[in-house]
């Protein structure tokens, strides 16, 4: 591999940067300095970082180089600069979770996912901005990350900083969280690959929660191959999180092969009812691509996605009210309108209301498992509106059709906890990204990653970058 220039380094895929560092064509310090210089230049415009950890990142890069000089290579993340969403505890930087109330909170330990990244040799560049408490809206007193493809285009929620930073070449990978679509929506909006693992596949210890039974932590990267590398590092049981799964962790990067042609389910009626023309054209093109790979596409009827999406808000609200019980309503005047509105919804539900929601969620999950027993993957868009503008999304709370287009392909997959990969799959007429989503059955991450990798071998959408 030819040694890239400092201007070429930021848009390498993670595995390419790893190869260059391992072969010592580049040092981790050189790569880290290139990223920090780019962050310094672009961050005032993009507002992706809550905290840049330059000093500690350079120290970690020097440690990685010293280890490598002694012949100690820790794996594919060794010396590679990444960044994490600012709801993951870091012992050496604040964790504000997109709030003003917790802006100065300094935990004394790393979240398990951060600790595992560091154990794997990754260099932590900093903490990435998110919406307040990881819900839908940024706190009115804090900056909103700017979509690097187009400043007037929505950058997604709530892992918006993770999507912007990864797309703009400010890190080689990032961590996001997904409670109702917040890995998939910003991955779609910013043209990156996002993996929402099975609930419990990745520890939530040290993560500021939005709704614990819906929260998922996962990687946002340039490619499916890179997502596999990050997932291998962060997945697995954690005694500090008793809800984390005991399932063994596969060697994801070395299982990126589809052993047999998968059966892909597609609900055309759902698409026609809820998704816009640009999104449906992208889905049809995706179907053409996968049938060209020899995969079989089967028309299916999905089990009550619209109802599941509507119920998600109330389910989330109850849990969010519990998470914030120490500060809300006691400090309600310090909250932004979106998060406080969600908490009020949760606090207003009765025990009977909540019981009915839980029964409906269990029913939906059972019907999804029945569907996935007959297919290997379910094709959905990353979200159902083709790269909406900020002005369009200002109406999300009042426009029911828009709300359904955004939540129908995302929130139900959090309700049932199944894994999903979001893949760049096209562009709008104005050059902004569109994305497809492959959903798999419980713990089918090897299949969804392999499917994503196969798709990216016959498309080049993920290799295109914003012209900054």
Q: 93, 54 in Cβ contact below 8 A?
A: no
Q: 108, 12 in Cβ contact below 8 A?
A: no
Active site residue 158: yes
Phi, psi angle pair for 113, to nearest 5°: -65, -35
The length of the chain, given as a count of residues: 468
Q: Which residue, among 433, 436, 428, 432, has the nearest Cα to 455 in the 3D structure? A: 436
Q: 81, 33 in Cβ contact below 8 A?
A: no
Active site residue 350: no
* Separation CA 414–CA 417 (nearest Å): 5
Give me the catalytic one of 158, 159, 162, 340.
158
* Separation CA 436–CA 188 (nearest Å): 8
Token pair of 194 as six digits: 């996002």
* DSSP per position, 261-302: PPEEEE-HHHHHHHS-HHHHHHHHHHHHHHHHTTPEEEE---
Angle at 28 between CA 27 and CA 29, to 5 degrees: 90
Give me the catalytic one of 85, 174, 177, 340.
85
Could you tell me the sign of the dihedral formed by the alpha carbons of 145, 209, 102, 110, in that order? negative
Q: Taking the CA of residue 275 as centre, how many other CA atoms within 13 Å lie in the half-sphere pointing to its CB? A: 28
Angle at 30 between CA 174 and CA 10, to 5 degrees: 45
Residue with tokens 């840049």: 52
Active site residues: 85, 158, 182
């Amino acid at each position: 591999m030819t040694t890239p220039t400092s201007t070429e380094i930021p848009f390498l895929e993670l595995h390419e940067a790893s190869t260059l560092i391992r072969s010592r064509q580049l040092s981790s310090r050189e790569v880290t300095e290139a990223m920090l210089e780019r962050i310094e230049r672009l961050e005032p415009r993009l507002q992706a970082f809550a905290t840049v950890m330059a000093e500690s990142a350079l120290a970690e890069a020097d440690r990685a180089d010293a280890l490598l000089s002694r012949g100690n290579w820790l794996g594919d993340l060794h010396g590679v600069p990444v960044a994490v969403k600012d709801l993951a505890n870091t012992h050496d930087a604040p964790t504000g979770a997109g709030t003003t109330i917790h802006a100065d909170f300094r935990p004394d330990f790393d979240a398990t996912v951060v600790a595992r990244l560091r154990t794997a040799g990754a260099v932590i560049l900093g903490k990435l901005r998110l919406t307040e408490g990881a819900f839908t809206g940024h706190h009115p007193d804090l900056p909103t990350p700017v979509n690097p493809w187009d400043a007037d285009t929505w950058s997604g929620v709530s892992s918006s900083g993770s999507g912007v930073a990864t797309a703009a070449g400010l890190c080689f990978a990032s961590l996001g969280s997904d409670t109702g679509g917040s890995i998939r929506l910003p991955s779609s909006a910013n043209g990156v690959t996002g993996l929402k693992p099975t609930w419990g596949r990745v520890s939530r210890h040290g993560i500021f929660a939005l709704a614990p039974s819906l929260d998922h932590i996962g990687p946002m990267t340039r490619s499916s191959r890179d997502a596999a590398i990050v997932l291998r590092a962060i997945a697995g049981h954690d005694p500090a999180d008793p809800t984390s799964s005991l399932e063994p962790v596969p060697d994801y990067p070395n299982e990126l092969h589809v052993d047999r042609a998968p059966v892909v389910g597609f609900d055309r009626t759902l698409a026609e009812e809820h998704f816009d023309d640009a999104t449906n054209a992208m889905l049809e093109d995706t179907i053409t691509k996968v049938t060209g790979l020899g995969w079989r596409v089967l028309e299916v009827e999905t089990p009550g996605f619209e109802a599941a999406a509507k119920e998600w808000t109330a389910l989330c609200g109850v849990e969010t009210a519990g998470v914030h019980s120490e500060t809300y309503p006691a400090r309600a005047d310090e909250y932004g309108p979106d998060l406080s509105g969600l908490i009020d919804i949760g606090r207003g539900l009765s025990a009977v209301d909540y019981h009915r929601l839980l029964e409906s969620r269990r029913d939906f999950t059972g019907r999804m498992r029945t569907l996935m027993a007959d297919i290997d993957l379910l094709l959905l868009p990353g979200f159902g509106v083709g790269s909406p503008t900020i002005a369009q999304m200002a109406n999300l709370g009042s426009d029911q059709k828009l709300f359904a287009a955004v939540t129908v392909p995302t929130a139900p997959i959090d309700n049932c906890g199944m894994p999903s990969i979001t893949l760049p799959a096209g562009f709008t007429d104005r050059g902004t990204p569109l994305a497809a989503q492959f959903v798999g059955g419980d713990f089918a991450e090897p299949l969804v990653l392999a499917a994503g990798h196969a798709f990216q071998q016959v498309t080049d959408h993920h290799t295109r970058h914003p012209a900054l």
